[in-house]
Amino acid sequence: MFSLRDSDIDALLQSWSFWCEGYTGLLGGGTSMLAKLIDGKGQILFGGSGGSSAPCDSVEARIEAVVMRMAAKSPDRADVLRMEYSAGWWGVCERRQIKGYDPRGTDQLKRSQAMVISLRTYKRRLSEAREEIKTELRKFYER
């Protein structure tokens, strides 16, 4: 049986956060997936001409897919996860109209205040989101 410890999840989520930084670079200047789809008339093309790129079938891409599904049914969970790991935090700030937020040096209390939720709710949503990531990764890797 495939087992994921909390430290494994934390390391994977940190990796996902770094991947998100590079991933937005592929889209160019913070362009959203929807905008890229519209610009490409129904197609999304990543990268430029020549040179190969890393495969999109990675654990980070799987985590992003889970987070995107999570955002559709529980935006608070997805937003808290993005704020906690600084993975697409600017999108959360834009959507929630959070002004002047800087993720550097913030703690959970400051992140919860920026999101206008209690620290207790922030921690609960984070725990729920991490558990959902763990469950979904376990399902995939146990196949």
pLDDT tens digits, residue range 29-70?
A: 444 555 555 555 565 555 544 444 555 568 899 999 999 999
Residue 45's pLDDT is: 53
Name the residue ranges covered by the structural domains of the chain: 6-48+56-141
pLDDT tens digits, residue range 100-133?
A: 999 999 999 999 999 999 999 999 999 999 999 9
- Which pTM was predicted? 0.74
Answer yes or no: are the C-beta atoms of 82 and 91 closer than 8 Å.
yes
Q: Which residues of 87-117 are buried (b: 16+ CB within 10 A; e: fewer)?
A: bbbebbbeeeebeebebeebeeeebbbbbeb
Residue predicted with more confidence, 24 or 4: 4
Alpha carbon 3 to chain centroid, angstroms = 22
